[in-house]
């Protein structure tokens, strides 16, 4: 189902309302909720709205869909993005689980991160984004590591991407597709075109065509 909005403000308010409802519902039923979030500039307005929401944030555990393999002080770090835009105000009491524990050794870090991400085996919410090349998370077209991650039965995988910083760690489709609610967020007509041709061209986003709950889009 695609929800198309005339303005980005309308989009982010609607998505914030939906995510809040999902988290509240999980907290009421299970006493806790988990959410995996994508980085980048697109969801930043959503984070600004969420951090003002009245929610039992102390019962929410937040993780990342993917991360660059860099220090969390870097401007390219998704952890840094969440620290400055989501994990503040009312949301500062939420529990955050990073993806980079050992920035000097990618393989050792994968072991540590995989253990930590066992808490997300059945996420309440997953928020996906999509690049102009049809990639989502850090699963890119025409990269062997991404192809391996796509069929992995592990929770996480090390991959690499075309842009600096190239070394990445990502949740696998095996994990992400277990979410109760999966939302794809993107803006711009170009990306809408990319999504429309994703099945024919078998872009990574196509891996999730049967598990995306709703698509949130605005020009």
The model's pLDDT over 57-67, given as tens digits with 9 standing for 90+, comes to 999 999 999 99
Element (H, E) at 150: helix 144-151
125-128 sheet: strands from edge to edge? 2-5, 214-218, 181-187, 125-128, 33-37, 60-64, 95-96
CA atoms within 13 A on the CB side of 73: 1
Integer Cα distance of 36 and 43 in angstroms: 12
Nearest to 135 by CA among 79, 198, 178: 198
> What does residue 87 show for φ and ψ, rounded to 5 degrees?
-80, 50
Average pLDDT of the segment spanning 103-111: 95
Count of CB atoms situated within 10 Å of the CB of 120: 25
Integer Cα distance of 176 and 189 in angstroms: 26
pLDDT, position 103:
86
The model's pLDDT over 119-175, given as tens digits with 9 standing for 90+, comes to 999 999 999 999 999 999 999 999 999 999 999 999 999 999 999 999 999 999 999
CATH class held by domain 2-218: alpha beta
The model's pLDDT over 16-56, given as tens digits with 9 standing for 90+, comes to 999 999 999 999 999 999 999 999 999 999 999 999 999 99
Class of residue 146 by CB neighbours under 10 A (exposed 0-12, middle 13-18, buried 19+)? buried
Domain range summary for the chain, segments of one domain joined by +: 2-218
């Amino acid at each position: 189902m695609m929800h198309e909005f005339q303005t980005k403000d309308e989009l982010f308010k609607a998505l914030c309302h939906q995510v809040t409802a999902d988290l509240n519902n999980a907290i009421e039923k299970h006493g806790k909720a988990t959410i995996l979030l994508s980085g980048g500039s697109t969801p930043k307005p959503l984070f600004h709205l969420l951090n003002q929401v009245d929610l039992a944030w102390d019962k929410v555990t937040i993780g990342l869909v993917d991360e660059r393999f860099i220090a969390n002080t870097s401007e390219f770090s998704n952890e840094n993005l969440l620290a400055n835009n989501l994990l503040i105000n009312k949301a500062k009491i939420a529990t955050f689980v990073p993806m980079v524990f050992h920035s000097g050794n990618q393989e050792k870090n994968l072991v540590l991160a995989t253990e930590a991400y066992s808490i997300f085996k059945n996420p309440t919410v997953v928020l996906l984004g999509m690049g102009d090349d049809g990639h989502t998370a850090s699963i890119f077209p025409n990269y062997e590591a991404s192809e391996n991650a796509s069929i992995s039965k592990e929770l996480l995988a090390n991959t690499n991407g075309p842009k600096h910083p190239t070394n990445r760690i990502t949740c696998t489709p095996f994990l992400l597709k277990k979410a109760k609610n999966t939302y794809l967020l993107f803006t711009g007509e170009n990306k809408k075109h990319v999504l429309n041709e994703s099945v024919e061209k078998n872009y990574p986003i196509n891996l999730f065509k049967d598990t995306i709950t709703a698509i949130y889009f605005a020009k």
